[in-house]
Amino acid sequence: MGYGELFGCISTSYLTAIDINIIPIPLLYIPLIRPLAMSFIPRVLAPGRTRLARVAVTAPRSLFSSSAGLCSPSKSSFNPHDIHNVTHSPDHIQSKLPAKELLRNNHRFSEFDLEGRVYAITGGGRGLGLSMAEALIEAGAKVYCLDRLESPHPDFLVAQQKAKSDYGCSLEYIRIDVRNNIEVNNTFAAIAAQEERLDGLIAAAGINHLQSALEHSQQALDEVMSINYTGVFNSATAAARQMFKYQQTGSILLVASMSGLIANKGMTSPVYNSSKAAVIQLGRSLAMEWGRHGIRVNSLCPGHIITPMVDEVFRQNPAARATWEAENMLGRLAMPEEFRGTALFCLSDASSFMTGSTLLIDGGHTAW
């Protein structure tokens, strides 16, 4: 919408929103006040009332040469995305913003359009990671799912076929161990070299271990921390290295947990909780380091989700499900599919001004 259209919409919106006599400045007379263009202040006055609005703007010359009607499209309309094309000094933060691509599919909300982009998802062989991968595919992205499983869940093959037949995209699977830093870096380098870009990452690999602090073994502690924290660190830094190498802006989402914020009632897992708290702080730290290079980093804290990992918890402690459901304001647990929109929002331009944030999506579990 151009400035001319904006002023027209402002005038008409006041006419419809206020049921008293209003004297708007007709858009028709704007060309007559060109000398005042650079300090133009639209004012809407009502008898017996104080001034309702005073908006100071710098109006482009094209505004005063347009004869378009109120709120109608104009060839001289100002494009808000042109802000990304303004010349800045190399170290100016605006120069790090992602360039806007043309919308190729008129049926997509442009900020959610991922056509031509490439993402990696650790823990993508099943469960939450796979559901998030499907969301990115449906938005037009090419996705690589990385997991330590010898082969992905059967649902992966269904999603892979659907990606090709329904969306013209691709879904690939690579087996890796996120604890192995060399392997992780080599894998991300190969993906980026193949695609000549990497736009972001969802670090969703993680495990749980139910054990009280006094009974927790050193081996289990090392395994949980090495996957849940070290693996996330390895994945995020490997992705960022390639994004820097190919001068690619983008987004990284670290999957933490609400258990990183609270002592989760009904789940005795001190090391898991601590590992997720570490992931949250890692997200803030990486956001600080990489933000001015155009790489955003955020953390997601889901509530209890029904995944293969949680099913194992229920097998060990059958009473856990009833306890968790009772603690949830919705009276139920989440499904992996309920985080598809979150993944798309965080990885797309729709969240372009969000970094260093922690998204808590837990069905109200922590809001009591």
Whole-angstrom Cα distance, residue 145 to residue 141? 12
Which residues contact residue 61 at a Cβ distance below 8 angstroms, ignoring those fewer than 6 apart? 37
Looking at residue 264, its pLDDT comes to 87
Task: State the Rg of the chain over Cα.
Answer: 25
Residue 322: which pLDDT band, with cuts at 50, 70 and 90? Answer: very high
Residue 41: which pLDDT band, with cuts at 50, 70 and 90? Answer: very low
- The amino acid at 211: Q
Looking at residue 308, its pLDDT comes to 84
pLDDT tens by residue, 195-224: 999 999 999 999 999 999 999 999 999 999
pLDDT tens by residue, 343-354: 999 999 999 999
Average pLDDT of the residues in 152-170: 96
Looking at residue 96, its pLDDT comes to 54
Q: Provide the annotated active-site residues.
A: 272, 276
Per-domain residue ranges for the chain?
Answer: 3-78, 95-361
- The amino acid at 80: P
To which CATH superfamily is domain 95-361 assigned? NAD(P)-binding Rossmann-like Domain (3.40.50.720)
Looking at residue 95, its pLDDT comes to 55
Residue 13 has pLDDT above 60, yes or no: no
Residue 312: which pLDDT band, with cuts at 50, 70 and 90? Answer: confident
- Closest residue by Cα to residue 143 from 165, 174, 112: 174
Classify 106 as helix, strand or coil: coil
In the block, tokens 């997509």 appear at 108
Q: Of 63-72, 92-101, 240-249, which gets the smallest average pLDDT?
A: 63-72
- The amino acid at 116: G
Q: What DSSP letter does each residue of 318-336 carry, written as one string?
A: TTHHHHHHHTSTTSS-B-G
Alpha helices in 196-339 (DSSP H): 218-225, 231-245, 270-290, 308-316, 320-326
Which residues contact residue 36 at a Cβ distance below 8 angstroms, ignoring those fewer than 6 apart? none
Instruction: Supply angle C-alpha 183, 188, 194, rounded to 5.
Output: 125
Whole-angstrom Cα distance, residue 155 to residue 152? 8
Looking at residue 265, its pLDDT comes to 85
